[in-house]
Structure 1
Amino acid sequence: MATGSQWIEAARPKTLPASLAPVVMGIGAAIGLQQASIGKSLLALLVALSFQVGVNFSNDYSDGIRGTDSSGKRVGPTRLTGQGLATPKAVLAAAISCYFLAAISGLGLCIWSGSYLLILLGALAVLAAWFYTGGKHPYGYLPGISELMVFVFFGLLATEGTIWVQTDSLPWRTWTAASGIGLLSCALLLVNNLRDIAGDRQSGKNTLAVKLGDKSSRYLFAIYLYGALILGVVSFNLRWIAIVFGVVMAILMSLAMATVLRGASGKELIKTLKQVGQITLIYGVAIGLGWVYLGL
């Protein structure tokens, strides 16, 4: 029987900043456009958080019943199913409950704003989350596809959806910042997969990190961070605050980059995962505040 702390760890709280960042940034854009709604903002946050936790539990369930998490070479957070700490049915129920909460909150948000197309996009997001590791042919076991999905759903859709339901507009600068968040989300995924290369290779999980190998994956991590930095600076339309933002983010990103490029592995990369999550949240909050102060 899993303890409460084990359930919390299995929910992977270190990944939650990745779901918060685009919504916070989107709220900042709505405020900058003077069309923000407290109620819609809170619903968007609830959708993001419950969806992210649902993804984490469904991955725990699917990888667990497939045997991927049974490899002795895998490290990282608690895996309830793979480690036999909770029954697969209990973990699946937790995942479904989170998706249900996200769906109800998202449906209410779409109806409130009249953005009915987002209902379809939300349904696609849930399907993408489930089939990441679920089903007979999970795309999370294939190189490149999971990165594309993370970029689209945790970067573009999460940011632009939050802005659209409040403003009915999507200024071009929000797309550059949303792309930056997408790249940081890809960096989070890469660190996670880099940590598990040995176990994933053994279990047949052919992630992008497995395909590229250890060294190239580390260089790709740096590219993700540098790409996000450039896009973030551009999102300020090269105004003075862009310099401050760029310098601060470059320092924070350099610390994470140095750890990865020097060959950190195992539990060291768990710390890096948390660090990248914090960078992602700071990135989203900083840009959001910049838009609040300077407008769009």
Structure 2
Amino acid sequence: MQPQAQTNFPPASNSKNWRVWWQLTRPHTLTAAFVPVLLGTALAMELTEINFGLFFAMLAASLLIQAATNMFNEYYDFKRGLDTEDSVGIGGAIVREGIKPKTVLNLAFGLYGISILLGFYICMNTSWWIAAIGLASMAVGYFYTGGPLPIAYTPFGELFAGFFMGMLIILISFYIQAGTVTSTSILVSFPILILVGAILLANNIRDLDGDKEFGRKTLAILLGKKGAINLLAGMFIVSYAWVFILIAMNIISPWLAIVVLSAPKAIKATKGFIGKTLPMQMMPAMKATAQTNTIFGFLLSVGLYLGYLL
């Protein structure tokens, strides 16, 4: 039997504090939306002059969809009894700060509404096919924790997150600038697909024991903690190796080798899970995983820009 969600809320005195609302967006995850837009736009520089109106519209829409997805996560984790006052992590605005669940849900749908308006602007200046792709991405964001069979409860969370919040955002960002999708843009987006998925895997490694109690079947649970850590390390290795293979095949500029500067964060993330048993002890490793994606993607974009200039 699923435990009942807590109904006795703490005083909402902190709910008006801007920090509480900022934390509700889970800001450490927002780089997963920012980096793909930056990278997709950087990829387009070689083919066209950048339309900054479309760039900022795409960036804002991606950030809003990511923030809304986090709020849906907050709401449904509460409704299913996963969040308590003792839960580890940045979530818990409902159980710890007294924000009403309905407020969180309505705010998430409100952010979706704004992103749809931004999507209209993007479609009016590019293609209406973007609308269909955008709506599919929003549906995945909602059904990640919502609906009768949330994606988060299955072994496919990393794949959905990596594809829709990594590769697809890169390709849309590239398309709205260049008017096409190239094989190079697809190949360069692959490591970000992996690293965005790695962020979710790191989260699931931290929450493995608790998720198991609530009947989730995440990839981390199926592989076991040791297997999941090995997979995380493998994902990092493949991401870096992929870039150097593309360089060796003369598909991308050697300047993109600059991504190696982010490797210490990947090493820290992997080592940070080894030998740790408590969720709080694994928080630094989770943070390092997200930072790896951010720095890796930013350095890829810098490498593309340098290759374009030089």
> Under a length normalisation based on structure 2, what TM-score does the superposition of the two structures give?
0.87
1:30 maps to amino acid: A
Instruction: Give the corresponding residue for 2:8.
Output: none
1:8 maps to amino acid: W
> With CA pairs under 8 Å and 6+ residues apart, which has the higher RCO, 1 or 2?
1
RMSD: 2.1
Of 160, 163, 166 in structure 1, the residue corresponding to residue 177 of structure 2 is 166
Unpaired stretches in structure 2, ≥5 consecutive residues: 1-11
Instruction: Give the corresponding residue for 1:65.
Output: 79
Displacement of 1:235: 4.5
Displacement of 1:40: 0.7
Structure 1 residue 290 and structure 2 residue 288: aligned?
A: no
Q: Quickly say closer, same or farther: Cα 1:232–1:184, change in 2 above 3 A.
A: same
Unpaired stretches in structure 1, ≥5 consecutive residues: none
Contact 2:256–2:304 under 8 Å retained in 1: no
Q: Quickly say closer, same or farther: Cα 1:243–1:120, change in 2 above 3 A.
A: closer
Structure 1 residue 218 and structure 2 residue 222: aligned?
A: no
SS in 2 for 1:86: coil
Structure-1 separation of matches of 2:84 and 2:264: 38
Instruction: Give the corresponding residue for 1:228.
Output: 239
Instruction: Give the corresponding residue for 1:140.
Output: 152
Contact 1:19–1:48 under 8 Å retained in 2: yes
Structure 1 residue 275 and structure 2 residue 291: aligned?
A: no
Of 175, 178, 182 in structure 1, the residue corresponding to residue 189 of structure 2 is 178
Structure 1 residue 10 and structure 2 residue 21: aligned?
A: no
Instruction: Give the corresponding residue for 2:112.
Output: 99
> Under a length normalisation based on structure 1, what TM-score does the superposition of the two structures give?
0.91
Structure-1 separation of matches of 2:308 and 2:179: 16
Displacement of 1:177: 2.2
Instruction: Give the corresponding residue for 2:53.
Output: 39
Deviates more, 1:91-100 or 1:201-210: 201-210
Contact 2:83–2:95 under 8 Å retained in 1: yes
SS in 1 for 2:92: coil
The higher radius of gyration belongs to: 2
1:17 maps to amino acid: T
Structure-2 separation of matches of 1:269 and 1:82: 22
Instruction: Give the corresponding residue for 2:143.
Output: 131
Contact 1:18–1:154 under 8 Å retained in 2: yes
Instruction: Give the corresponding residue for 2:5.
Output: none
1:117 maps to amino acid: W
Displacement of 1:26: 1.0
What is the aligned-residue identity percentage?
Answer: 26
Q: Quickly say closer, same or farther: Cα 1:205–1:290, change in 2 above 3 A.
A: same
Displacement of 1:189: 0.3
Structure-1 separation of matches of 2:197 and 2:88: 20
Of 128, 131, 134 in structure 2, the residue corresponding to residue 116 of structure 1 is 128
Deviates more, 1:127-136 or 1:251-260: 251-260
Displacement of 1:198: 1.5
